[in-house]
Structure 1
């Protein structure tokens, strides 16, 4: 449990406990290949309570330069991890998590990326022969990725049923 001094907000209103968590979460995301600054921005947007952020708000909250935020949000928008919007008449873009079913959406966006692994593994099997040790490993690789792609729709359906059981209408703020 956080002590009162750990949950105090600084002059910009950033919760120190939140920022410590964001840094730890960003380290985990970085370990999976997301660059450090986009990882920090994504972790912050995921964990903070607001639903939209301007680049200036993100820079203040994370205590970094606007230029660092600019590159980070571009990376996250391009990867489909953040949505970019502009309100009618507004002069600045805002960024938000792009979907209510965040993780299913993220994985769905990436599941087709395994198809090239299937293809190249199949090519390797044909070139090397399925009866060689390398050919057998490549065949296993091909079949693993084919299995994952085939099972993904079923896993998403199960996840959505599980999510409804946990949260009712899908709103985590109002559990069933």
Structure 2
């Protein structure tokens, strides 16, 4: 068929035409093929003086095998606990939406939700890219935010250079302490602002109130987190 792949018989006719001194255009006319198809075929397989039909056929078969895409492994319909594969996606999406409503960036929410939903509690950057269908740069920004909030940690896969992102039972303890430290810095800045603007002025009074509130709430956060950590350890 014109435009289709060359068959072994086509290649035999090309070889015979070259042997009889026919040009590419004449060979192509007899095969009902474009001249460019014949010229590429001959050039790719040694040129007019070295073209052999059987060798060209074998070389084409090898190239076809190299170009054949590897089969994509499909995830199992259910996992080892009998859970449907779609359940993970559905729960992760709902959980991510709640994180996002609390003010967390959308992709950071998606990464955190996915880490909570997988039994291992950990995924590599490549696995996050594949499962969330986003770019490596997007995942990098999301895990950077979560590490800054102390919600995840980065480990290295044994024997490789791959980064693995992990969530564990201490995640929210670390995040609470990080939030308390932020409150401390805000409280100190507000207190300094009140001193600079005048503690008796309306702005100064407002800043002092903010400072006192954040200091007390920060202390309560730390005490509560420490009690919970002791409970977990016990």
Q: TM-score, normalised by structure 1?
A: 0.71
* Structure 2 residue aligned with 1:85: 155
* Structure 1 residue aligned with 2:141: 71
Give the Å deviation of 1:57: 1.9
Q: Which has the higher contact order (CA 8 A, sep 6+)?
A: 1
Q: Which of 202, 208, 213 is the equivalent residue of 1:144?
A: 213
- Structure 1 gaps, min length 5: 1-10, 171-176
Change over 3 Å in CA distance of 1:62–1:48 after alignment to 2: same
Give the Å deviation of 1:56: 2.2
* Structure 2 residue aligned with 1:50: 120
8 Å CA contact 1:12–1:60 kept in 2: the answer is no
* Structure 1 residue aligned with 2:229: 160
Change over 3 Å in CA distance of 1:17–1:34 after alignment to 2: same
* Structure 1 residue aligned with 2:104: 34
* Structure 2 residue aligned with 1:119: 188
Change over 3 Å in CA distance of 1:12–1:65 after alignment to 2: farther
* Structure 2 residue aligned with 1:18: 88
Deviations 1:103-146 (A, max 9, x none): 11111123111222212221332234333333322211010111
Alignment partners' CA distance in 2, 1:79 and 1:154: 19
Q: Which has the larger radius of gyration?
A: 2
Give the Å deviation of 1:42: 0.9
* Structure 1 residue aligned with 2:4: none
User: How many matched pairs?
Assistant: 154
Give the CA RMSD over aligned residues.
2.6
Alignment partners' CA distance in 2, 1:121 and 1:32: 25
Deviates more, 1:48-57 or 1:25-34: 25-34
1:132 correspondence with 2:201? yes
8 Å CA contact 1:12–1:61 kept in 2: the answer is no
Alignment partners' CA distance in 2, 1:154 and 1:73: 28
8 Å CA contact 2:156–2:164 kept in 1: the answer is yes
Deviates more, 1:66-75 or 1:104-113: 66-75
